[in-house]
Structure 1
Amino acid sequence: MDLPEGYSVKGEYAGNGRLVCKLHKSLYGLKQASRQWNAKFSEAILKYGFQQSGSDHSLFTKKTNDENFIALLVYVDDILLGSTSIQESNEVKEFLDSLFKLKDLGTIKYFLGLEIAKSPESISICQRKYTLDLLEENGLLGAKPVLSQFMDKPGKEHLTAAHRVLKYLKGSSGQRILMKSKSTLKISGYADSDWAGCPDTRKSVTGFCIFIGDSLVSWKSKKQSVVARSSAEAEYRSMASVCCEMIWIKSLLKDFGVKHCEAMNLYSDSQSAIHISKNPVFHERTKHIEVDCHFIREKILTGLIKRRHTSTNLQIADILTKALQPNQFYRLLSKMNIHNVHPAGSATSSDSDKV
């Protein structure tokens, strides 16, 4: 690297073009800067008495002798602080302000693209501002279409699909997830899958929803990494995915001081997948998914997971794996406690369309 203008080297290193400068302080913009900031912040907050979560390293918790609880969540340089004591929160802020340049934004209303509204009865979360910003960027009140699966050779049909997504967002920008304050802390999950839904690769899609009580806390829709040879296999792989997520959520609740001693309910509408989890004998139709079989069966035998059958009409994760008729689509949205508080017209063009 070149020395800054005005600096010169004397002695035996003079004239040597291969010089290295040692940085005593991480510079903003370097790829190591964010890692150094995280290491410095973590060291400081741990010295203050916080404990770092093993489930999520960006979460720090502290419990004082008088039973006050503090949770601190950090994302790069954005920090979210929650506590059962206002005094404890103020002390943490003062400590951080003494070490770093801190700006207190007050009670949370907007965090990482999420709008958060609180009341004594519930907390609701939405991304209305983020969605409207996307819509405004593109003349449709929408964002520039990005088709992550078809970036190589996007065609007209892909653009049409992207425009339909934007038109749906136009009518659903006010949708909020409602989390009620008076609810049980029982964890339950819904796992579903289509079979060979991708016309190009014939891979299936895993979809799952996980609830704590009546509150939706985790969901996913993702193409499976391998081709399933049967619908039962595709369903079983989705059950394995939701099991992992439910176990992680239980571990995260433990960091918040919440004990979850009951078995977690896992709902599936596939009788075949449920029978596989019950059958201790492997045969040629299931031996290629042996790892998933052992994983789920172990959690069932230890009492951690309890498998449940649900009808297809009540399978909430169905909304994440396939196209549905509008009535069923909005019925499942309601079961997920998703409500549109700012309706802006219909999301469908006709009653016969699928969402």
Structure 2
Amino acid sequence: MENCKPVSTPIATKTAKSGIASVEFSNPQLYRQLVGSLQYLTLTRPEISYAVNKACQHMHQPSNQNFEDLKCILRYIQGSLNIGLPLYRDYLNLTSYVDADWAGDQTDSKSTTGYCNFLGNTVISWCVKKQATIARSSTEAEYRALASAGTDIIWTRQLLQEL
């Protein structure tokens, strides 16, 4: 993928997938190794967290379409090697942003939680995770997202107080 054509986003914004399942990928071990490596990369590249999360959902039985989606992430990384997390020396206010995608997964109707925490203008933690149960409303999905972010905020505050 060193000489691949870079793309501007790690995941397609609209998918034109039909109801017919794609052919099973011939080398599932390669798929798992690539996805595992990308999971580590999300520590310093939070913008790929959602795309990697979607790729992780197919680790047991990846299809050719899943591998194409994985290659899209790799093409994005190839084109954005100079992007990183800036660290700022400024005020120390803890701020958090939370969102939930209500019933965003079309296969099981589960919602996706996402949040990021900032210390001043610097991102210090983030999470993108599919919710464990199906939410009955967008309010319920948002409440679960807030609860998840809240636990991380409490832990972060305690850590900052210790430091």
Question: Would you say 1:232 and 2:142 are equivalent positions?
Answer: no
Q: In structure 2, give the amino acid aligned to 1:217.
A: I
Give, as a single letter, the amino acid of the residue that structure 1 aligns with 2:78.
K
Q: Distance in 1 between matches of 2:133 and 2:83?
A: 33
Partner amino acid, structure 1, of 2:68: T
Of the three residues 98, 101, 110, the one matched with 1:191 is 98
How many angstroms apart in 2 are the aligned matches of 1:193 and 1:241?
Answer: 11
Match of 1:180 in 2: 88
Q: Report deviation, 1:163.
A: 1.0
Give the secondary structure class of the aligned counterpart of 1:178: coil
Residue from 51, 67, 76 that aligns with 1:159: 67
Given the alignment of the two structures, is residue 149 of structure 1 paired with residue 91 of structure 2, yes or no?
no
Query: CA shift at 1:148, angstroms?
Result: 2.4
2:136 pairs with 1:218: no
Q: Which position in structure 1 is the counterpart of 2:13?
A: none
- Counterparts of 2:133 and 2:101, CA distance in 1: 13
Q: CA deviation at 1:153?
A: 2.5
Question: In structure 1, what is the Cα distance between the partners aligned to 2:158 and 2:87?
Answer: 20
Identity of aligned residues (%): 36
Tell me the secondary structure at the aligned position of residue 87 of structure 2: strand
- 1:5-20, aligned counterparts within 5 Å? none
Moved over 4 A (4+): none
Structure 1: stretches of 5+ with no match in the other structure: 1-134, 257-355
1:250-296 alpha-carbon deviations (Å, 9 max, x no partner): 1011111xxxxxxxxxxxxxxxxxxxxxxxxxxxxxxxxxxxxxxxx
**Structure with the higher fraction of residues in strand conformation:** 1
Counterpart-to-counterpart distance in 2, 1:151 and 1:180: 37
Larger radius of gyration: 1
Q: Of Structure 1 and Structure 2, which has the larger fraction of its residues in helix?
A: 2
AA at the equivalent of 1:154: P
Q: Following TM superposition, by how much is the alpha carbon of 1:140 offset from its aligned partner in structure 2, in angstroms? A: 5.3
Q: How far, CA to CA, are the matches of 1:210 and 1:159 in structure 2? A: 31
Residue-pair matches, total:
118
Inter-partner Cα distance in structure 2 for 1:233 and 1:218: 23
TM-superposed CA distance for 1:164, in Å, is 0.8
TM-superposed CA distance for 1:186, in Å, is: 1.0
Counterparts of 2:143 and 2:65 in 1: how far apart (Å)? 32
Which residue, out of 157, 160, 170, partners 2:78?
Answer: 170
User: 1:39-188 residue pairs with structure 2 within 5 A?
Assistant: 145-146=34-35, 147-181=55-89, 183-188=90-95
> What is the SS of the residue equivalent to 1:210?
strand
Residues 324-346 of structure 1 deviation map (CA, whole Å, 9 limit, x = unaligned): xxxxxxxxxxxxxxxxxxxxxxx
TM-score (norm 1): 0.31
Report the secondary structure of 2:135's partner residue: coil
Distance in 2 (CA, whole Å) between partners of 1:168 and 1:151 is: 20
Q: Which has the higher contact order (CA 8 A, sep 6+)?
A: 2
Cα distance in 2 for partners of 1:169, 1:200 equals: 27
RMSD: 2.0
| Superposition map of 1:244-283 within 5 A | 244-256=151-163
Offset from partner CA, 1:72-122 (integer Å, 9 cap, x none): xxxxxxxxxxxxxxxxxxxxxxxxxxxxxxxxxxxxxxxxxxxxxxxxxxx
Q: Counterparts of 1:209 and 1:152 in 2: how far apart (Å)?
A: 28
For 2:65 and 2:136, the matched residues in 1 are separated by 29
